[in-house]
Amino acid sequence: MRCNAILLAAGLSSRMGSANKLLLMVGGEPMIAHVTQTYLSAITGSVTVITGYQADYIEKALADLPVNFVHNPDFASGQQSSVVEGLRSQLHMGATMMGLGDQPLLRVENLLWLLHVHQRDPSKVTVPYRCGRRGNPIVIPSDLRPMMLANPKSAGCREFTRENPHLVTMVDTASDGFFTDVDTPEDYHNLTKERNGAYHGKAV
């Protein structure tokens, strides 16, 4: 199925200290480049990266990749504003995968599996789920994007899916990639330790 992707890469990275987590090295390249390449290898549509904090550095890290950039001038207000900018940027008819730039354990096969599951009921938002915890990315049908933007007080995905469970498909998965993001120096240390130990991830 054709699917575009939105990658959120605008945050302040405040919990990482002085470093921008998306520019930390993973597998010999900046984390955001590593994650973006995973999405590019999995989907048939375009990838749009939402920038904010240190936008110039993010764009430089992705200069060799075929992606679109949308700048969120209100990035300091939080992730919701970047989600809204991302949803507004999508004008195509078809599904959109909304993901995070700090999930380097995601693999191509994880994203392909999520798209395959979404096709079972493409009229609903598809959300990975494990032990009471929602993961990322999610897959959003084009028909629901306007509904997510309709209420300016609760625009975006999180409130919409909570308020409209009948429009959401929760899919169980055992894969760590959907639930592992890198927010702190400890997270990054654990990530590099896993990769140095030839981490290959768990099966879906």
Predicted confidence (pLDDT) at residue 201 exceeds the cutoff of 60? no
Q: Provide the pLDDT confidence category of residue 158 given band limits of 50, 70 and 90.
A: confident
As a whole-number percent, the residues of the chain with pLDDT over 70 amount to 95
Residue 151: pLDDT over 90: no
At residue 120, does pLDDT exceed 60?
yes
Contact assessment for residue 155 and residue 149, using Cβ atoms and an 8 Å cutoff: yes
What is the model's pLDDT at position 92? 86
Segment 172-182 mean pLDDT: 95
- Whether residue 51 contacts residue 91, with contact meaning beta carbons closer than 8 Å, is answered with no
Structure tokens at 187: 């997270």
Sequence-ordered list of residues with C-beta below 8 angstroms from that of 171, at least 6 positions apart, any chain: 114, 117, 126, 127, 128, 129
At 203, is the pLDDT very low, low, confident or very high (cuts 50, 70, 90)? very low
Specify the 3-state DSSP secondary structure of 138: strand
For the segment 9-50, what is each residue's pLDDT rounded down to a tens digit? Answer: 999 998 898 899 999 999 899 999 999 999 999 999 999 999
Instruction: Give ∠ CA 20-145-157 in degrees, rounded to 5.
Output: 50
Alpha-carbon distance of 84 to 65, in angstroms, equals 24
* Residue 143 predicted with pLDDT over 80: yes
